[in-house]
Chains A and B, each alone.
Chain A
Amino acid sequence: MKLNPFFKEEVNRELGEHKILMCYQCGKCSSFCPLFNIEPEKFNPRRIIEMVNIGAEDVLKLDDIWRCTTCYECAENCPQKINFVELIVYLRTKATEKGYAPKLPLQELESVRKEGFSVPLSPRAKKWIETYMVEVKTRG
Chain B
Amino acid sequence: MKETLVYFPGCLASRKFPGFDYSTRFILQKLNIEFKMSDEFSCCPDPVWVRSLSYKEWKEKGVRNLEIAKNLGSKLVTICNGCFETLFTVKKTFFNGKSIPVEHLLYTLWKNKKEEIKNKIINPLKGKRFGIHEGCHFKRPSFLTLTEFKELKEVNVLKEMVELLGAEAVGGTESCCGLPNFITDKDLSFSLARKRIDEFKNVDGIVVICPSCFSQFENVLANDKREVPIYFYFELLAYSLGLDKENIGFEFHRIKPFSI
Residues A87-140 near B (CB distance < 8 A):
88-90, 92-93, 96, 101-102, 104-106, 108-109, 112-113, 116-122, 124-125, 128-129, 132-133, 136, 138-140
* A66 touches B (CB below 8 Å): yes
* A4 touches B (CB below 8 Å): no
* B156 touches A (CB below 8 Å): no
Q: Which A residues are CB-close (under 8 A) to B195?
A: 34, 38
Given A92-B53, A93-B55, residue A70 in contact with residue B15 (CB < 8 A):
no
Contact-residue size bin, chain B (C-beta under 8 Å from the other chain): 35 or more
Are A113 and B57 touching (Cβ within 8 A)?
Answer: yes
Q: Which A residues are CB-close (under 8 A) to B131?
A: none
A-binding segment of B18-26, B96-104, B226-234: B18-26
Query: Which B residues are closer than 8 A to A by beta carbons?
Result: 6-7, 11-12, 15-19, 21-22, 25-26, 29, 35-39, 42-43, 45-55, 57, 61, 72-73, 136-137, 140-143, 175-176, 178-181, 183-185, 188-189, 191-192, 195, 247, 249, 251-252
17 A-B pairs whose Cβ atoms sit less than 8 Å apart in the complex: A34-B178, A34-B195, A69-B136, A71-B175, A73-B136, A76-B140, A76-B142, A81-B143, A92-B53, A105-B49, A109-B57, A112-B43, A119-B12, A121-B15, A133-B22, A140-B38, A140-B73
Are B15 and A104 touching (Cβ within 8 A)?
Answer: no
Within the assembled complex, what's the spacing in Å between the Cα atoms of A75 and B26? 37
Given A72-B136, A133-B18, residue A34 in contact with residue B53 (CB < 8 A):
no
Q: Which A residues are CB-close (under 8 A) to B29?
A: 136
CB distance from A20 to the nearest CB of B (A): 16
Q: Which B residues are CB-close (under 8 A) to A48?
A: none
- CB-based nearest B residue for A38: B191
Within the assembled complex, what's the spacing in Å between the Cα atoms of A92 and B25? 37
Given A42-B185, A117-B11, A118-B46, residue A132 in contact with residue B22 (CB < 8 A):
yes
- CB-based nearest B residue for A88: B52
Further contacts, 4 of them, CB under 8 A, given A96-B54, A101-B53, A125-B18: A76-B140, A76-B142, A109-B50, A120-B15
* A83 touches B (CB below 8 Å): yes
Residue of B7, B57, B141 with most partner-chain A CB within 10 A: B141
Contact-residue size bin, chain A (C-beta under 8 Å from the other chain): 35 or more
Are A66 and B15 touching (Cβ within 8 A)?
Answer: no
CB distance from B84 to the nearest CB of A (A): 13
- CB-based nearest B residue for A69: B180
CB distance from B138 to the nearest CB of A (A): 11
Are A136 and B136 touching (Cβ within 8 A)?
Answer: no
Are B52 and A73 touching (Cβ within 8 A)?
Answer: no
Are B22 and A93 touching (Cβ within 8 A)?
Answer: no
Are A109 and B22 touching (Cβ within 8 A)?
Answer: no
Q: Within the complex, which residue of A73, A106, A116, A136 is in contact with B176, where a contact is CB–CB below 8 Å?
A: A73
* A39 touches B (CB below 8 Å): yes
Residue of B47, B140, B185 with most partner-chain A CB within 10 A: B185
Are A105 and B52 touching (Cβ within 8 A)?
Answer: yes
The 4 closest A-B pairs by CB, nearest first: A140-B36, A71-B176, A92-B52, A104-B183
Are A112 and B50 touching (Cβ within 8 A)?
Answer: yes
Are B181 and A66 touching (Cβ within 8 A)?
Answer: yes
Given A96-B54, A136-B22, A140-B72, residue A122 in contact with residue B16 (CB < 8 A):
yes
Are A71 and B140 touching (Cβ within 8 A)?
Answer: yes
Q: Which B residues are CB-close (under 8 A) to A83?
A: 141
Within the assembled complex, what's the spacing in Å between the Cα atoms of A75 and B137? 13
Given A39-B191, A105-B183, A138-B37, residue A117 in contact with residue B53 (CB < 8 A):
no
CB distance from B17 to the nearest CB of A (A): 8
